Amino acid sequence: MVDIDLIVNTLRAHGHQVEDMHPVPPDAGDYGMTIDGEVVNLEGARRILELDGPERTQARG
């Protein structure tokens, strides 16, 4: 089970703009969302968070 609210809130805490979050067919990645103007699935959201690292969160204060 995926806690989509946790993912969206974490992305926003890292300074990303998250819009248009919607479920999609299971074979397409379970969820789609627009992050900083780019449409991604859950795997894409995970990669964005991994690339952010702790520096981005600290920079937001």
- For 32-48, how does the pLDDT look when each residue is reduced to its tens digit (9 = 90+)? 889 999 988 888 999 99
Cβ–Cβ under 8 Å, residues 41 and 28: yes
pLDDT at 55 over 70: no
E strand spans, 1-61: 18-23, 31-35, 38-41
CA angle 27, 9, 38 (to 5 degrees): 55
pLDDT confidence bin for 16, thresholds 50/70/90: very high
Q: Phi/psi at 19 (nearest 5 deg)?
A: -135, 165
